[in-house]
Structure formats: C-alpha cells, structure tokens
Structure 1
C-alpha cells in the first residue's frame, strides 16, 4: 500500500511539473523582449541617527551600575537642555557582566564587573551633530558606535527613482525593438520589488569635530530603484 502511494505521488509530481512547464511555455509563446530599468537619485541628508555607549569596569556590580547610570543621565540632561525632544532619545537597559581575567597557566579570575549602557539619538538638524558628539564624549561616553545620515521623507525620492527606472526600461525596449525592425507592443509582465524604506549612510568617526562637520555637509545619499519589464513585440 505504501509503495502504491509513493508511485502515485511520484506520478502526480511528474504530471504537475509537466503542466507547469507547459503553462510557462505557452505563456511566453510570442515575440517578446525583457528589459531592466535602473535609476539613481541623489539626496542631501536632512536627518541623522547616532549610537553611543558607556562601558565601565568597577570592583562591584553596584559601583559599575551607579557610574554608568550617572554618565547616561548627565548626557540625557544635556541633550534635553539643547532642545532635543525626549522621544528622539532612546536609552537602553544596563548590562552587567563579570569581568574575567585569563592568566597564563592559571585558572580564570574575576576582576570586578563590566557595565554597558547604550543611547541612540535622532536629530533633524545636521549642524548640531558635531556638537552633540562632543557633548557625548565630554559627558563620559566612551564609545561612539556609528553615525547614520538619512532623509526624513525617502518615499519622495524613491518615487522619482522609480519613475526614472520605468522610463529607462521603456527607452531600452524601444531602442532594441527598433534595432531589430520591430515595433514595441504592450507591457505583458512587470516584476518590481520595493527597496529599503529609509535610505541611510554610515560615516566613520575617525576625524575631529571640524572635519566631521564638513564631511556631513558634503555628503549625498544615493537612492536606487529598478524594474524588470516584459514587452510584447509586434
């Protein structure tokens, strides 16, 4: 009985596969042309996100927590004093881990506790970015993870890129059809996958404040789009 079921399933699989191939062959059984349209739009960044963190190693977990929380609290107060809304500042929970030392030819030893706490800030005024990073470092923040520049309304730029990609696909198809003495017909199929919603650009932090300020002003973000189109040929 089991052998009969296996044969039946195998036979059905061949039949279904054959039907699928037949449908595909029938579906493209006419003169056609495949084209891909590409487009890029340059946008000036008008917002930024940066992530920082505090790392403290102390003899006790309580000391590590207190010192880490103090640095973060001082930093948050300074950000709000500069006019940043609280909803644009996200501080994470503290992480406490034993700080281990691994000497040669000896057992591992615990050397206090390591506390880590992260803060992420979003701003819509890029001129403030170098100052805020300096404030972070002066507050006791000892690590800047990354700075990401972006645009607040990426859909506006994405719509332009999409429109240009469609034009590019059509122009290519018309040119190729003309080259083969054919006329471009109607669109038969369009394959499109929307790209990422929020274009961002990460920047290195290995520079001083004045260099960072200039680099942010000179930055452009490339927003790309593509569309695959199948046209019928007359």
Structure 2
C-alpha cells in the first residue's frame, strides 16, 4: 500500500520517526508521500525524504491555511523550489473556509497560481478542501484544460460531489474520516468508483477509529483499507491493489 498523504516530517514524529516508518513497512506500506505546507516545512520534509529515499517522496506547494498578506513573496519562494528539486506533485494546495475566511481571496489566488504551475510542469495537484468542495470545483471547472489531474485529499463529501470530482478527472483520497461512526462515509464509500480512490492518513491528524483523537501514523492506514473493504464487501487485498495502482499512476511512481 501507499500512504498518499502523510506529514511524518512534522515535529510530532521527532522522537520516534524511525519506528513509525518501520511500523508502516510492517503492515505493508512501502511508500509514504509527503505534502508541503509552508516555507518552514520545506527543510524538515526534504530531510525526511533524504533519510528514507526509497520510501518517502516529496511534493511542493503552499497550504491554504498558511496563506496571508505575504502571498506573492511566499509563492515566489515555493515556485523557485521546483527548479532545485524533483517533486512528484504540486501540493498541498486548495481552499480552507473552516477556520477563517479573512484570506479567502488570497487563497483563491494562490490556488489558481499553483494550478497554473501544475499545467506548466505536468504534475498532479493535491487539493485541500475544508468546507470548500463546491468553491474548489467551480475554480477547477474554469481552469481544467484537459491536463489538470490530482486528488481531493481527505474526502468527506457527498456522492454527488464525488461524481463531480471524478468527472473532472480527479481522484478521492480516503483516510481516517472513512472510519468515523458519524462521519457519513459509510453511505458514500459503497457508491464510489474505486478507479478514482487512493488511500492516505494525513498523519499526525485524523487518526482512524479506534485511535481517534490520538496521533495518527502511516501504519494506521491498514484500518482505512479494511473499512473500505468491509463497506464494499471485497477483500482488503483488492482494496490495497486497486488503490496502490491508482496512486502509482497518478503520481508517476515507479
């Protein structure tokens, strides 16, 4: 399996990162994809990739929660990094209207700018949509020229939203929310097109049941795979094989 979205470079893993990676390998997760969030996360992310070069693969982008009045300067720095390092995706980018809408205009500017980079660089995008799926879809419909591809990470929307995302050629990233008793995903997952599903943890956040509220880690993704298998009434091996292939193709992984 591949954890398509994990922040194992975060300080929450400073005391036991090696053990976290070993536990992931022990349950069959042999690749962990690392999305960037802001300027400060670049160094620890690249250091983590350097420590586990066969396992970890980095992305580059500016997360919407870190967009502020310095947007132009920050984007300029982020853009320069694509000339210095080979990244597998533009991410984590998007729109977040959950905490604060103060910088919504700047978030939309950053999102559109980074979508343009993805077209120029022929890279997939990893999209963060908290309370913003419909707004994000509207922008993507305007920007899609046939070359944009990527994933709505941490998907927790409706069947209708899932279909709209797939029609634009985008995948759905399923993680810990899929296991939550009141998350509503038990009604959605049975109807998803598995050819557009990939797995993720978003660790250290959103740990699946029965670890909810604790620090998440890549090895817990096995619980997500099992939950999807149960809801689809197929084997966990099938879920692992399908989502692994989807992830490899989306991110052009060998």
Q: What TM-score do you get using the length of structure 1 for normalisation?
A: 0.25
Q: Which has the higher strand share?
A: 1
Of structures 1 and 2, the one scoring higher in RCO (CA 8 A, sep 6+) is: 1
| Structure with greater Cα Rg | 1
